[in-house]
Amino acid sequence: MSIGKLFGKVYENVTAEGAGFEGYCVVKTDEKTIFVKYSTPGDVLNIRLISKKNKVFFAEIISVVIPGPNRTEPFCSHFGVCGGCKWQQLNYQAQLYCKNQLVYDSFTRLGKIVCKEWQPIIGAQNNKYYRNKTEYTFSNRRWLLNSELNNETVQQKAAGFHISGRFDKVLDIDKCYLQDDFANKIRLFIKNYGIEKNLSFYDIKENKGFLRNIIIRNSTLAQWMIVLITGEDNETETLKLLEETEKKFPEISTIIYGVNTKTNDTIYDTNLVVYKGKGYIEEKLDEIIYRIRPKSFFQTNSEQTLKLYQKIREYADLNGNEIVYDLYCGTGSISLFIARNCSRVYGIESVPQAIEDANENASENKISNVDFFTGDMRFVFSNDFLLKTGKPDIIITDPPRAGMHPDVVSQILKAEATKIVYISCNPSTQARDISMLSEKYEVMKTCPVDMFPHTHHVENVTLLIKK
């Protein structure tokens, strides 16, 4: 039957089971499996079918008949519309339990992996205000709530997040709990300044408008960076706005601006100008100071990154003499974190700018036993590379969500390191790759780390030892 006929079909008094795809719980009826948005395990619900994607059905909640034991009141006023922090209706302990389960299920069901030790997830002490970076969009077409639809006087200018599935609409954010509240103050100040001075806000359909994006970054050293991106080149107006922002918030360590007239928001090819400060902020993890520039990648939850990197170091259990490969090294942050504990680290990464950051950070930290290589892993991590650098004792690998290319997995098998420490933000592709590595490796330990509270995302570290 097509979804056209099923759309709107109601199911009453159905029970939601454990979290699955995208963190949605599952309702099983005689005929189908349905993923229910914003449900929690054990909820008894009345639901309505809303869509179907690749044979999977999705439903929304009409009403919660009996709340599941871990259902809780969401704390954010934008919950349900914003699209971020989708697990707020589940209490934090239950979120951690579900994330453990997601890793366990991926490994055992998908990968048929036998792991000797399942270590419990490392939860976050601060599960609000934990991000060190947020990016907001200015728009002249605000997403209107149902209650505002017929109100013609409503303010259309917004600064916030794109609504999922609606590229042209931006939800105006009043208060976001992701980053320190200071970020809210900065965003609101700039938005209100724009409204007061009658500056134009970006129109995505027309690709015009002055205020376009603001990126706000901070570190645990209380350093703050703002990057203001305008959609039109009007430096006089930009400088006036930045002067006011600087006056209002002298705490901001560095202020940067640029003009983006392209149809996409990426700033990687945008020329950026430093208005105030050094053009970067610093983050400290253990003894290492990382310089973070506006275009640099850095893990977005600094406190949990420290715990993640400590876990990686614990699993690597270095004695000072090893050659270590750090595959998919990004800005080399893991390489630098472990460099003083081993003989040499070789990092490989495809983004040249990230390697520039890695080299800069190595030199700033006076670390000389690291070498970074730029290029596609499949081609850089070759037999020649193994010959040139010497075979690794330990391989650390942290690929993107898609996991590793099969050629890279084969090459790891060829390299025959004693240990592999595999970090992933996607337990399914990690399970697939580890299953291939199981030909030569035993899976000793695995430990999830919660880098993204109130979302279903989970980072997982696994130790493999050569049989």
DSSP 366-392: T--SEEEEES-HHHHSSHHHHHHH---
Per CB under 6 A, 297 contacts ligand SAM:
yes
Q: Which is nearer to ligand SAM, 256 or 338 (CB)?
A: 338
Smallest distance from ligand SAM to CB 348, Å: 6
Closer residue to ligand SAM (CB): 70 or 299: 299
DSSP 110: I
Of 89, 245, 333, 460, which one interacts with ligand SAM (CB under 6 A)? Answer: 333
| CB of residue 163 to ligand SAM, shortest distance in Å | 26
C-beta of 288: minimal distance to ligand SAM in Å?
Answer: 12
Count of residues binding ligand SAM (CB under 6 A)?
17
User: Three-state SS for 66?
Assistant: strand
Which one of 107-115, 138-146, 219-227, 322-330 is the stretch in contact with ligand SAM (CB under 6 A)?
322-330
Of 329, 283, 278, 327, the C-alpha closest to 305 is 283
For 111, the token pair is: 């990968």
Residue 286, interface with ligand SAM (CB under 6 A)? no
Start-to-end CA distance of the chain, whole Å, equals: 51
Decide: is 336 part of the binding site for ligand SAM (CB under 6 A): no
Region binding ligand SAM by CB under 6 A among candidate stretches 15-23, 40-48, 261-269, 348-356:
348-356
Indicate the residue among 349 and 393 with the shorter CB distance to ligand SAM: 349
385 binds ligand SAM (CB under 6 A): no
Residue of 180, 283, 322, 349 interacting with ligand SAM (CB under 6 A): 349
Is the Cβ of residue 237 or residue 371 nearer to ligand SAM in the bound state? 371
Q: Does 338 bind ligand SAM (CB under 6 A)?
A: no
Instruction: Select 238 or 331, whichever has its Cβ closest to ligand SAM.
Output: 331
Residue of minimal Cβ distance to ligand SAM: 330
CB of 401 to ligand SAM, least distance (A): 8
Comparing CB distances to ligand SAM, the nearer of 98 and 461 is 461
Do 294 and 357 form a contact (C-beta atoms < 8 A)? Answer: no
Which residues, listed in sequence order, are joined to residue 45 by a DSSP beta bridge? Answer: 14, 64
- Spell out, one character per residue from 142 to 181, where the chain touches ligand SAM: x when CB under 6 A holds, - when not: ----------------------------------------
Q: Of 172 and 349, which CB lies nearer to ligand SAM in the complex structure?
A: 349
Q: How many other C-beta atoms can be found within 10 angstroms of the C-beta atom of residue 106?
A: 22
| Contacting range for ligand SAM; rule: CB under 6 A; set: 92-100, 192-200, 330-338, 442-450 | 330-338
Among 8, 120, 352, 400, binds ligand SAM (CB under 6 A): 400
> What SS3 string covers the chain?
CCHHHHCCCEEEEEECEEECHHHCEEEECCCCEEEECCCCCCCEEEEEEEEEECCEEEEEEEEEEECCCCECCCCCCCCCCCCCCCCCCECHHHHHHHHHHHHHHHHHHHCCCCEEEECCCECCCCCCCCECEEEEEEECCECCCHHHCCCCCCCCCEEEEEECCEEEEEEECCCCCCECHHHHHHHHHHHHHHHHCCCCECECCCCECCEEEEEEEECCCCCEEEEEEECCCCHHHHHHHHHHHHHHCCCCCEEEEEECCCCCCCCCCCCEEEEECCCCEEEEECCEEEEECCCCCCCCCHHHHHHHHHHHHHHHCCCCCCEEEEECCCCCHHHHHHHCCCCEEEEEECCHHHHHHHHHHHHHCCCCCEEEEECCHHHHCCHHHHHHHCCCCEEEECCCCCCCCHHHHHHHHHHCCCEEEEEECCHHHHHHHHHHHCCCEEEEEEEEECCCCCCCCCEEEEEEEEC
Which of 231, 330, 403, 453: binder of ligand SAM (CB under 6 A)?
330
Q: By CB under 6 A, is residue 299 in contact with ligand SAM?
A: yes
* Among 168-176, 220-228, 263-271, 324-332, the segment contacting ligand SAM (CB under 6 A): 324-332
**Which of 2-10, 161-169, 242-250, 393-401 is the region at the interface with ligand SAM (rule: CB under 6 A)?**
393-401
Assess 441 for contact with ligand SAM (CB under 6 A): no
Q: Closer to ligand SAM at the Cβ: 33 or 374?
A: 374
Sole binder of ligand SAM in the list 76, 354, 362, 370 (CB under 6 A) = 354
| Interaction of residue 376 with ligand SAM, rule CB under 6 A | yes
Which of 14, 115, 229, 377 is in the footprint of ligand SAM by CB under 6 A?
A: 377
Q: Which residue has the tokens 């999977």?
A: 56
351: contact with ligand SAM by CB under 6 A: yes
Chain residues that interact with ligand SAM, rule: CB under 6 A: 297, 299, 328-331, 333-334, 349-351, 354, 376-377, 398-400
